[in-house]
């Protein structure tokens, strides 16, 4: 008789490569229930979600556009989590960056995009860093849990933005609670004609390359990751743990700020209170699904953007609420994490 035994040993490599596929399939099976309740067939829903957007050039461009901010927040979260620092405040840091970008974009009187855009990026990065500073210092100096502080500051930033946009920074032209439109020099160039894919996508790719290189090829990056893996061992090795955590947190905030810059400079051209529908939190999903690696983050960001774009087309064609995309994202995160465990066991035949 065939007897099998499950051992706690790493599963064969081919199986581990298949795991993401299993996760995706399992997620979609689970989510089918919702689709059926909404009155559509799961197959047509998944067609709309996954296949359809890939067939149309406008939709493909949309995917690149939607992937840009979440790739940046995903990278931000990756850097922070790699140090063991749970930065959930990417949302607020994103808004900080957007505000700074809008400020530079409206105040700096210049016609040259070569001056304007880099300054916006720098300002946004610094703003994101500053917003991440307080929780980081509290964590490093006073051991205050960063999860709560970063979370609370998200809310505070939203209030701050609302106060500014409803008050001293309201657009006198339109009267809406948004900032005045940024100058033409500040508007990010569009990369693909007749689409909304903007310069921010290039920024995201560049940041991805830089982050990858720093995290895997520099002493600093390796130290940061060591701190994340085992703080005490790192300290024992002489790595300045507090400093590395602080740096990781600040860099993370800066990158999230860049995401905000992209949204202001490339999509809206002004600052608004609804700049981000949760990009900061989606970044956590991107980072986790990407196993805290840069290539993984890129793939996850593109995949999630595909799902979100697909959810829009599913809502148009099939009358399924667009929130399906959000549900799939979250389910993918949880299922993905759970299926990772499958890679820890292997099945052996016992004679």
Query: Which residue from 187, 288, 300, 308 is in contact with another protein, where contact means CB under 8 A?
Result: 288
Query: Which residue from 23, 24, 34, 72 is in contact with another protein, where contact means CB under 8 A?
Result: 34
Q: What is the DSSP string of 226-246?
A: HHHH-HHHHHHTT--HHHHHH
Query: Which residue from 155, 216, 218, 274 is in contact with another protein, where contact means CB under 8 A?
Result: 155
Looking at beta carbons only, is 122 or 327 nearer to another protein? 327
Query: Which residue from 21, 56, 159, 237 is in contact with another protein, where contact means CB under 8 A?
Result: 159
Query: Which residue from 22, 144, 214, 299 is in contact with another protein, where contact means CB under 8 A?
Result: 144
Q: What angle do CA 276, 290, 326 make, to 5 degrees?
A: 40
- 119 touching another protein, by CB under 8 A: no
The contact mask relative to another protein for 319-348 (x = CB under 8 A, - = no) is --xxxx-xx-xxx-xx--xx-xx-------
Query: Which residue from 11, 18, 22, 38 is in contact with another protein, where contact means CB under 8 A?
Result: 38
Binding to another protein, residues 215-244 (CB under 8 A): none
Two tokens, residue 137: 């210092």
The CA–CA distances, whole Å, from 105 to 100, 182, 187, 225 equal 8, 5, 8, 36
**Cβ atoms of 89 and 151 closer than 8 Å:** yes
CA distance 293 to 210: 13
User: Please, which residues bridge with residue 116 across strands?
Assistant: none
Size of the site for another protein (CB under 8 A): 46
Give the DSSP letter of residue 265. Answer: I
Two tokens, residue 21: 């596929």
Give the DSSP letter of residue 190. Answer: B
Looking at beta carbons only, is 1 or 37 nearer to another protein? 37
Give the DSSP letter of residue 56. Answer: S
Looking at beta carbons only, is 207 or 335 nearer to another protein? 335
What backbone phi and psi angles, to 5 degrees, belong to 190? Answer: -85, 135
- 11 touching another protein, by CB under 8 A: no
Two tokens, residue 299: 């793939």
In whole angstroms, what separates CA 258 from the centre of its chain? 11
- 37 touching another protein, by CB under 8 A: yes
For the chain, the farthest-separated pair of C-alpha atoms sits apart, in whole angstroms, at 82
- 68 touching another protein, by CB under 8 A: no
Shortest reach from residue 109's CB to another protein, in Å: 28
Nearest to 268 by CA among 77, 118, 69, 110: 69
- 22 touching another protein, by CB under 8 A: no
Two tokens, residue 201: 């996508």
The label of the residue with tokens 């992937």 reads: 67
Query: Which residue from 55, 109, 112, 143 is in contact with another protein, where contact means CB under 8 A?
Result: 143
Two tokens, residue 26: 């399992």
Two tokens, residue 227: 């701190």
The contact mask relative to another protein for 248-287 (x = CB under 8 A, - = no) is ------------------------------x--x--xx--
- 171 touching another protein, by CB under 8 A: no
Binding site for another protein (CB under 8 A): 34, 37-38, 86, 88, 134, 138, 142-145, 147-149, 151-156, 159-160, 162-163, 166-167, 278, 281, 284-285, 288, 321-324, 326-327, 329-331, 333-334, 337-338, 340-341
């Amino acid at each position: 008789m065939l007897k099998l035994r499950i051992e706690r040993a790493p599963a064969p490599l081919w199986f581990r490569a298949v795991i993401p596929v299993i996760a995706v399939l399992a997620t979609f099976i689970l989510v089918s229930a919702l689709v059926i309740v909404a009155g559509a067939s799961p197959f047509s829903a998944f067609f709309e979600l996954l296949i359809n957007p890939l067939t149309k050039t406008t939709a493909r461009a949309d995917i690149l556009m939607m992937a840009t901010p979440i790739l940046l927040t995903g990278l931000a979260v990756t850097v922070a989590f790699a140090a063991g620092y749970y930065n959930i405040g990417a949302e607020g840091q994103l808004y900080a960056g957007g505000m700074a970008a809008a400020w530079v974009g409206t105040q700096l009187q210049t016609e040259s995009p070569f001056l304007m855009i880099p300054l916006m990026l720098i300002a946004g990065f610094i703003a994101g860093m500053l917003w991440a500073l307080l929780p980081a210092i509290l964590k490093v100096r006073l051991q205050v849990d960063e999860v709560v502080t970063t979370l609370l500051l998200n809310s505070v930033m939203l209030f701050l933005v609302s106060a500014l946009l409803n008050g001293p920074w309201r657009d006198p032209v339109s009267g809406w609670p948004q900032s005045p439109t940024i100058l033409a020099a500040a508007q990010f160039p569009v990369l693909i004609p007749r689409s909304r894919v903007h310069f921010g996508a290039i920024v995201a790719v560049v940041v991805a390359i830089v982050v990858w290189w720093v995290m895997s090829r520099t002493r600093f990056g390796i130290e940061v990751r060591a701190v994340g893996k085992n703080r005490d061992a790192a300290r024992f090795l002489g790595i300045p743990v507090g400093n590395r955590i602080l740096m990781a947190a600040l860099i993370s905030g800066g990158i999230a700020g860049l995401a905000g810059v992209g949204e202001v400079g490339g999509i809206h051209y002004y600052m608004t209170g609804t700049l981000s529908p949760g990009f900061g939190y989606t970044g956590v999903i991107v980072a986790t699904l990407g196993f805290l690696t840069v290539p993984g983050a890129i793939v996850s960001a593109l995949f999630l953007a595909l799902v979100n774009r697909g959810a829009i087309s599913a809502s148009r064609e099939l009358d399924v609420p667009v929130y399906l995309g959000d549900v799939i994202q979250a389910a993918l995160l949880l299922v993905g994490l759970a299926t990772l465990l499958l890679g820890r066991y292997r099945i052996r035949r016992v004679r």
